[in-house]
Amino acid sequence: MWAWVNGEFVRRDQPGIRLEDRGLTFADGLFEVLRTVGGKVLFWDEHLARIRRSARFLGIAFPFTDQKLAAEALELIRRNDVTDGELYLELTRGADPYRQHKYPPSGTEPTLFMLSFPLRTIDAVNWERGATLLTYPDLRHRLCEHKTINLLANVLAKNYAYERGGYEALMCREDARGSYITEGGSSNYFCCRGGRLLTPEIDNIMPGITRAGVIDHARRAGIEVVERRLYLNEFLGADEAFLTSTVSKVMPIRAVDYTTFPAPGPVTRRLMDAFEELIHQELAR
Ligand code: PMP
């Protein structure tokens, strides 16, 4: 398998990344996971805009143009002979030989690399009959609107769910009114109550590309979408619920802990179909 590192195609077992890279020592970096279908990449512009925005926020230079990087991504996918798959892109603040917290001197090259994988296997039963979630405390920092490579709390949350037979964690924070939901280890959440879609507002959670596509489609289709703080008891009392992510697309939710939902519910079904149509349009562009 090939990887791409700072402009070079390299064998994946000879990565050419320094051990002092701040990505390794400080998790000082960002990433994106993009879906590839038939050798093409979905929603490239949206993913690149998100990582560029966060790179600007963190003061990390983004060393390639989108066009150049897109061409390299397609070549990487071709070399690895991946048709349906995932493209992983990571940007770090680069190597720092002394492992000091202080930002490295200007002129230090950031590290940008890409990996392409065949699509992970997900049991189709999750789309057909719905995924199960387990609630878990949101143990993360205040940078969750940026896709940082600091994912330890997400890893803990997802593995808590896996070990109990679940598909994802439903992470929750607390305020004076009680427990409110944030997101999953790698998914955004929606529920439907009385025909309206409710989803947590972007308040220290990931602005998901799939989430944005679903909201945009729902609004154009005349479905009211409300983005606000969403309490766990409201979510559990919903008519139906679903999750969104690049890899899971739109996936119905069958259960959260011991609460069950009809899955897929009618609104979820509609949005699952609409999202497939959006992918078709994207591939035809
Ligand atoms: N939340 C988190 C924490 C994530 O890591 C992801 C995956 N990027 C998402 C939500 C879903 O975002 P997207 O639709 O862009 O994949």
Task: List, for residues 93-130, the tens digit of each pLDDT value.
Answer: 999 889 999 999 988 999 999 999 999 999 999 999 99
Three-state DSSP state, 88 = strand
Average confidence (pLDDT) over 27-56:
97
248/255 Cα distance (integer angstroms) = 16
For the segment 209-266, what is each residue's pLDDT rounded down to a tens digit? Answer: 999 999 999 999 999 999 999 999 999 999 999 999 999 999 999 999 999 999 999 9
- pLDDT(184) > 90: yes
69/154 Cα distance (integer angstroms) = 28
Place of tokens 């770090």: 92
Q: Which of 190, 132, 138 is nearest to 163 (CA)?
A: 132
Q: Kindly list the protein residues whose Cβ atom lies closer than 6 A to any atom of ligand 1.
A: 33, 154, 183, 186-188, 206, 208-211, 244-246
Segment (H or E) for 56: helix 44-58
Distance 48 CA to ligand 1 centre (A): 14
C-beta of residue 32 within 8 angstroms of C-beta of residue 54: no
CA angle (136 as vertex; 130, 140 as ends), nearest 5: 120
pTM, full prediction: 0.97
Cis ω before 264 (30° cut-off from 0): yes
**Is 68 a catalytic site residue?**
no
Q: Which long-range contacts (CB under 8 A, 24 or more apart) does 256-260 make?
A: 256/132, 256/133, 256/134, 256/135, 256/170, 257/133, 257/134, 257/135
pLDDT of 28: 98
Residue 37 is encoded by which pair of tokens? 């279908």
Please identify, by atom number, the ligand 1 atom nearest to the C-alpha of residue 50. Answer: 15
Distance 215 CA to ligand 1 centre (A): 15
Residue to probe by mutation, ligand 1, list 148, 245, 248, most atoms within 8 Å of CB: 245
pLDDT of 13: 82
